[in-house]
Amino acid sequence: MFERLQHFLASLSGGDDKRAFAVDDPRVAVMALCIQVMEADGKVLDVEKAALRARFKDYYDIDEKELDALVAAGADAESEAIDFFHFTSELKRQLSEEQRIGLIGLLWEIVYADGERSEMEDHAIWRIADLLGVSGRERIMKRQEAAQRAGAQAAHEETGET
């Protein structure tokens, strides 16, 4: 499951070794959407930020400096956008159906990083999925997968298992 998410994020970079993040880089749009979903419930927790950074760092194989640049580019793009359409329209053209579904999975991973989901986060992902052409069925499946992983991770943390 994490391998599929890793494959999705790696596929966005096209395999090149870009160190600067252009405005039209799909990774910037993905980061901006992640930030918008994190902010949807009105609180951005450290655990959510850490989950976002960990996933992007691992999947793009970038160092902290590059990750900081990507987060900054995504935050800048997010602050200038008035809605999700700005990002989703471009991503819908650039990404395959599998990649768009993977993006919805990533968004759910960010939502469940704090162990719960809010109605506002749910609505944000519903809207993004709709704009990306991801079916309700796929969106719900990705939500359930992320919730299961979050529950399993919480259970391991409570029992001290790894």
Q: At residue 4, does pLDDT exceed 80?
A: no
Q: What pLDDT is attached to residue 62?
A: 87
Q: What pLDDT is attached to residue 86?
A: 86
Q: What is the mean pLDDT of residues 119-138?
A: 97
**What are the residues whose beta carbons fall under 8 Å from the beta carbon of 159, sequence distance 6 or more?**
none
Q: What is the mean pLDDT of residues 136-146?
A: 96
**What are the residues whose beta carbons fall under 8 Å from the beta carbon of 97, sequence distance 6 or more?**
133, 134
> 32-71 pLDDT, tens per residue?
999 999 999 999 999 999 999 998 888 788 889 999 999 9
Burial 136-153 (b: 16+ CB within 10 A, else e): eebbeebbebbbebbeee
Q: What pLDDT is attached to residue 106?
A: 93
Q: What pLDDT is attached to residue 38?
A: 93
> 84-97 pLDDT, tens per residue?
998 999 999 999 99
